[in-house]
């Protein structure tokens, strides 16, 4: 245990230098650190929501909307299937959590059952003697639909937040249908709420030129059309202008591959580009409907309804609607990130001010410095020169923890500071075990060299056992915990690894170097 090969010495010193280099940017301001060349260590520790302030949102995914859309799609599929099979029916529609339809001829029941079973094999189909049919989604199918909606919403929320440039956001699922969003350092939470509150479902639909809005409002609305309000166009009555729009979606926003804010005629607009399939569909629609208005619909509101002047075959276009620069930027962001499968409802909102975070950092610094000072004094008093060696290793341990947090960009929270303070005490635990064992070996009559060698050899197993068990607990906290608990687990796990290195390697190297240089007859311990 007292022999160090040259490569081991180089490795230990290299790790220490590495720690100092990667921890040093934390001594600079954020602007100064970002101005450093990229080939130099420039990353700083990322502070969590409770330390630098920011916004905490608890969102609920409207999964029932997705279920309703699936039932409506089932209605359309049922209608097409029954018409294709020339089976007469009436009363087709959604009733509660089921799709109901009544056949005009009960003799067609068996044929209709087979047809509907092919449409959706996960549906439960029940029939009555009078030709009534009820199609209900099974609990398993409902669970799959809801889980997929939450999973997709989580991914879309993450894309939208990432597009805003927020550093180190925390976005995770909570329970069955909820999402927790924590945004450290956000200074405009209202914009974030607006971005997350929009479903951003973009569609391109033809305007029904054969039906006037007056006829539609009087009840003469064709089955394949619907009334939609304009997003920002106000009529003479002071209410939004209304359009009669065909329900059929000619091209969906899911075919978009890019959207960017730009200017046209000195007005902010959004340019968009389709994928190959979307571009072909867009070109076909515009070539066949020259001279007709084409509604651009976002979340069931008409942004604009320009007249198609000529075929647009390039797979790209412009959305204009009297946007401000910020509105155009946000709309482009939403379209790039994709549409949410269901609306999100903000159940809880908390804003943490930077002053509270500054108080937490100040309190954490005081606790860390006080804990460090007490440990340093205790080790020096109880173990003399050996205690001073342990103190040097302890300082290096803190530096390496800061370097690891900076390099990994792990988020430091208030419980994470508590984990560092705990690590300060745990870091010297291994040294205490070794030093006490060395004292026992000296008391039994061994020489200084033999006592140090035996002390490290016989205490090593105990050191490994105690640290491994604590490391397992830290991994469990990180894996099963969330938010503050996860932050505590991260710093505790990193602290255990670094303390093992500094206690077993750095302290031992310092003591061995001193022994070989001084050749003492007694040990100052």
Beta-bridge partner residues of 307:
293
Q: Give mean pLDDT, residues 165-178.
A: 82
pLDDT of residue 2: 67
Output the CA torsion sign for 155, 158, 163, 164. Answer: positive
pLDDT of residue 486: 79
Q: What is the pLDDT of residues 323-374, one digit of tens each?
A: 888 888 888 888 888 778 888 888 888 877 666 567 777 777 788 788 888 8
The C-alpha atoms of residue 410 and residue 508 are separated, in whole angstroms, by 30
CB of 449 closer than 8 Å to CB of 522:
no
pLDDT of residue 355: 61
**Sheet containing 294-298: order of strands:** 240-246, 225-234, 301-304, 294-298, 202-206, 251-252
CB of 495 closer than 8 Å to CB of 502:
no
Please, what are the domains in the chain?
A: 6-48+355-518 (1.20.1640.10), 68-142 (3.30.1240.20), 198-349 (3.30.1360.200)
* Residue among 29, 117, 127, 31 at smallest CA distance from 74: 117
Distances (CA, A) of 225 to 277, 292, 293: 25, 15, 14
Q: What letter would DSSP give residue 175?
A: T
Q: What is the pLDDT of residues 413-462, one digit of tens each?
A: 778 888 888 888 777 888 888 888 888 888 888 888 888 888 888 888 88
Measure CA of the first residue to CA of the last residue in the chain; give whole Å: 19
Task: Please list the helix, strand and coil fractions of the chain in percent, rounded to the nearest 5, in that order.
Answer: 55, 20, 25
Q: Range with the lowest mean pLDDT among 229-238, 342-351, 486-495, 500-509?
A: 229-238
Total residue count of the chain as it appears in this document = 525
Which residues have a Cβ under 8 Å from the Cβ of 170 and sit 6 or more positions away? 48, 49, 180, 181, 182, 411, 483
Q: Strands 301-304 and 225-234: what pairing?
A: parallel
Q: What letter would DSSP give residue 289?
A: S
Orientation of helix 448-480 relative to helix 429-443, angle to 10°: 160
pLDDT tier, 187 (very low <50, low <70, confident <90, very high otherwise): low
Tokens of 283: 């070109």
Helix (H) or strand (E) holding 27: none
Which residues have a Cβ under 8 Å from the Cβ of 51 and sit 6 or more positions away? 184, 357, 360, 361, 412, 413, 414
Q: Does position 483 have pLDDT exceeding 70, yes or no?
A: no
Tokens of 160: 């939208």
Radius of gyration of the chain (CA): 34
pLDDT of residue 356: 58
Q: Does position 52 have pLDDT exceeding 80, yes or no?
A: no
The C-alpha atoms of residue 61 and residue 141 are separated, in whole angstroms, by 18
Q: What is the pLDDT of residues 192-204, one digit of tens each?
A: 888 888 888 888 8
pLDDT greater at residue 522 or residue 144: 144
Other residues' Cβ atoms within 10 Å of the Cβ of residue 428: 25
pLDDT of residue 274: 87
Residue position matching structure tokens 């920002």: 232
pLDDT greater at residue 382 or residue 364: 382
The C-alpha atoms of residue 101 and residue 485 are separated, in whole angstroms, by 53
Distances (CA, A) of 11 to 16, 18, 397: 9, 10, 15
Q: Does position 524 have pLDDT exceeding 80, yes or no?
A: no
Residue position matching structure tokens 């166009």: 233
* Residue among 247, 206, 250, 211 at smallest CA distance from 226: 247
Rounded to a whole number, what is the largest CA-CA distance in the chain?
A: 109
CB of 335 closer than 8 Å to CB of 270:
yes
CB of 207 closer than 8 Å to CB of 245:
yes
Helices (H) and strands (E) in the chain, counts: 16, 19
pLDDT of residue 400: 92
Helix (H, G, I), strand (E, B) or coil at 98: strand
Helix (H, G, I), strand (E, B) or coil at 306: coil
Q: Give mean pLDDT, residues 42-49.
A: 80
Q: Does position 482 have pLDDT exceeding 70, yes or no?
A: no
Phi, psi of 56 (to 5 degrees): -120, 125
Q: What is the pLDDT of residues 198-240, one digit of tens each?
A: 888 888 899 998 888 888 888 888 878 889 988 777 777 778 8
> Percent of the chain at pLDDT above 90?
3
Tokens of 190: 């209202």
Which residues have a Cβ under 8 Å from the Cβ of 269 and sit 6 or more positions away? 261, 262, 263, 318, 319, 320, 323, 328
């Amino acid at each position: 245990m007292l022999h160090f090969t040259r490569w081991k010495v180089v490795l230990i010193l290299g790790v220490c230098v590495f720690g100092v280099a990667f921890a040093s940017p934390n001594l600079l301001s954020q602007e100064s650190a970002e101005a450093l060349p990229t080939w130099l260590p420039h990353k700083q520790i990322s502070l969590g929501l409770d330390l630098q302030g920011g916004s905490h949102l608890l969102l609920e995914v409207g999964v029932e909307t997705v279920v309703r859309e699936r039932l409506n799609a089932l209605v359309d599929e049922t209608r097409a299937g029954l018409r294709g099979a020339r089976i007469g029916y009436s009363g087709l529609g959604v009733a509660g959590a089921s799709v109901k339809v009544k056949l005009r001829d009960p003799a067609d029941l068996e044929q209709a059952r087979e047809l509907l079973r092919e449409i959706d094999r996960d549906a439960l189909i029940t029939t009555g003697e009078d030709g009534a049919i009820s199609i209900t989604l099974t609990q398993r199918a409902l669970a799959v639909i809801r889980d997929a909606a939450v999973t997709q919403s989580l991914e879309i929320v993450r894309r939208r937040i990432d597009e805003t440039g927020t550093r180190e956001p925390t976005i995770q699922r909570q329970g069955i249908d909820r999402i927790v969003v924590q945004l450290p350092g956000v200074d405009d939470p209202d914009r974030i709420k607006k971005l997350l509150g929009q479903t951003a479902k973009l569609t391109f639909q033809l305007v029904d030129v054969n039906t006037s809005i007056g006829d539609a409002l009087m009840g003469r609305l064709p089955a394949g059309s619907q009334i939609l309000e304009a997003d920002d166009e106000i009529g003479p009555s002071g209410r939004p202008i209304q359009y009669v729009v065909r329900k059929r979606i000619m091209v969906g926003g899911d075919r978009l591959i890019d959207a960017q804010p730009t200017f046209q005629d000195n007005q902010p607009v959004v340019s968009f580009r389709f994928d190959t399939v979307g571009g072909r569909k867009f070109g076909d629609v515009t070539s066949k409907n020259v001279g007709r208005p084409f509604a651009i619909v976002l979340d069931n509101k008409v942004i604009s309804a320009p007249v198609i002047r000529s075929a647009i075959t390039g797979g790209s276009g412009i959305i204009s609607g009297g946007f401000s620069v910020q509105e155009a930027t946000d709309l482009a962001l939403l379209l790039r990130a994709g549409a949410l499968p269901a609306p999100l409802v903000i159940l809880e909102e908390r804003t943490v001010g930077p002053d509270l975070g500054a108080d937490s950092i100040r309190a954490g610094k005081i606790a860390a410095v006080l804990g460090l000072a007490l440990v340093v004094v205790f080790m020096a008093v109880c173990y003399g020169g050996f205690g001073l060696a342990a103190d040097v290793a302890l300082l290096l341990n803190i530096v390496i923890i800061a370097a690891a947090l900076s390099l990994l960009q792990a988020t430091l929270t208030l419980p994470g500071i508590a984990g560092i303070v705990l690590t300060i005490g745990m870091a010297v635990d291994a040294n205490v075990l070794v030093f006490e064992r060395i004292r026992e070996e000296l008391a039994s009559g061994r020489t200084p060299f033999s006592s140090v060698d035996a002390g490290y050899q016989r205490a090593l197993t105990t050191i490994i056992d105690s640290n491994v068990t604590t490391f397992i607990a830290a991994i469990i906290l990180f894996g099963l915990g969330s938010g503050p608990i996860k932050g505590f687990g991260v710093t505790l796990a990193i602290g255990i690894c670094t303390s093992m290195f500094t206690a077993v390697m750095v302290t031992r190297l310092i003591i061995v170097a001193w022994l070989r240089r001084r050749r003492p007859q007694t040990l100052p311990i």
